[in-house]
Amino acid sequence: MDNNQTVRILTLSDQIVDRIYSKYIRNMFPNIDLIISCGDLPYYYLEYILDMLNVPMLFVHGNHDPEVEISAHGTRKHPWGAVNMHGKSLNHKGLLIVGFEGSIRYSHHRHQYSQNQVWVQVISMVPRLLWNRVTHGRYLDVLMTHSPAFGLGDRPDRAHVGFKAYRWLIETFKPRYHIHGHIHIYDRNDCQPLKHEETIVMNTCDYKQVEIAVRGKND
Ligand SMILES: [Zn+2]
């Protein structure tokens, strides 16, 4: 593996950006390798971006995603052509990416979970993380979720509190990045990444670009 290789990622969540959903999209993002969507976006919007940029898209559902989206573009339960990362670990060109969907349970809508349910999801991922460590020398590079982790970019109100299991995963397995959505910030200047131990925590807000170096086994 070339240790200088990087993966250029466009991250998305929560808010439609008119300029992205337009003919200008290719000029905005001429060199993207991968799209990561962290939920709460219409499927037709994601499909438009996927078609226009023509690179792989990984997604997790947000708590506002419908069971079925009916639009002028057809009927579907998820964005066509994108990979659902909930409860999965994927090696994308040397980047080890793990995903979880949903938010804290606060209503009867889909894709909402209790803290205990998410503990089960995260603990179920541990054997895979250990296997990554054996085969790649590290547990994971990127954690992608809809919800933030508890105390790391979340909010105290009952709809926006983060998951404690994610925080445990971050502190135990030390991904380089946690990319999440769910927390709406209306001024992009207020949407700066934060660092927690060895992890950069990024709220995608509406969109962000990040370039992540691929590490060899012994890095
Ligand atoms: Zn949300």
The one-digit pLDDT tens for each residue of the chain (219 residues) are: 445 699 999 999 999 999 999 999 999 999 999 999 999 999 999 999 999 999 999 999 999 988 788 877 778 888 889 999 999 999 999 999 999 999 999 998 889 999 999 999 999 999 999 999 999 999 999 999 999 999 999 999 999 999 999 999 999 999 999 999 999 887 777 788 999 999 999 999 899 999 999 987 656
At residue 38, the 3 state secondary structure works out as coil
Q: For residue 147, how far is its CA from the centre of ligand 1 (angstroms)?
A: 7
pTM of the predicted protein model: 0.94
Q: In the chain, what are the domains?
A: 6-213 (3.60.21.10)
Cα 87 to middle of ligand 1, angstroms: 18
| 3-class DSSP assignment, residue 208 | strand
For the chain, what is the largest distance between any 2 Cα atoms, rounded to a whole number of angstroms? 50
Q: Which residues surround ligand 1, an ion (CB under 5 A)?
A: 40, 62-63, 103, 182
pLDDT given for residue 218 in this prediction = 57
Rg (CA), the chain: 17
CA of 113 to the centre of ligand 1 (A): 12
63 CA to middle of ligand 1, Å? 5
CA 16 – ligand 1 centroid, Å? 13
Closest CA to 144 of 9, 47, 20: 9
Who's near 109: CB < 8 A, 6+ residues apart? 63, 64
Query: What pLDDT is attached to residue 70?
Result: 82
- Give the Å distance between the CA of 13 and the centre of ligand 1: 9
CB 218 within 8 A of CB 3: no
- Dist. CA 53 → ligand 1 center (Å): 25
Rounded to the nearest angstrom, the distance between the alpha carbon of 154 and the centre of ligand 1 is 11
Q: Could you tell me whether strands 194-196 and 199-203 are parallel, antiparallel, or unpaired per DSSP bridges? A: antiparallel
Contact 161, 104 (CB under 8 A): yes
pLDDT of residue 138: 96
Cα-to-centroid distance, 146 and ligand 1 (Å): 6
